[in-house]
Copies of this chain bind each other. A is one copy, B any other.
């Protein structure tokens, strides 16, 4: 069962396994980089009675628990993906908005040198590359 991982993931964290939560996670497995609005639309295809606010709850709660990953490009609503245990990051085309997963160029998650960490314990490092994608360059859209 594909849900198994997510169910145990939540149970292990003391979260209750609900249809809404599973539905949100399935959508994000299929469509990473989705906005809350997109998730709601997709969830409603199968479960029309899941409320918008509940989806927001789920997105917030699961992000806080580390099951989801959230990032917020400029001029965009927050985007979500099911958190995977690599250190991939994102490249966004500032012209058409398309987003690609990219591997971290340095081979490991960026980190701070102790001399420059300002006393902070870093938990997440998100890299957002912004540029122009091949299609936009060719079509002169930029």
Residues in A lying within 8 Å of B, measured CB to CB = 70-74, 78, 91, 93-94, 100, 102-106, 110-113, 116-135, 137
Contacts and interface: CB of A to CB of B under 8 A. Distances in A.
Given A74-B70, A74-B72, A113-B105, A126 B123 contact: no
Please report whether the interface of chain A is mostly helix, strand, loop or mixed according to DSSP: mixed
Given A74-B71, A123-B94, A124-B130, A112 B102 contact: yes
Contact of A91 (B78, B94, B104, B122): B122
B103 A116 contact: yes
A49 to B, nearest CB: 28
A125 B70 CA distance: 17
B105 A112 contact: yes
A121 B100 CA distance: 13
A84 B91 CA distance: 22
Contacts of A103: 113, 116
Contacts of A105: 110-113, 116
A118 B91 contact: yes
Nearest to A128: B126
A127 B129 CA distance: 9
A105 B109 CA distance: 11
Q: Identify the 5 closest CB pairs spanning chains A and B, nearest first.
A: A119-B134, A122-B131, A124-B130, A100-B118, A120-B131
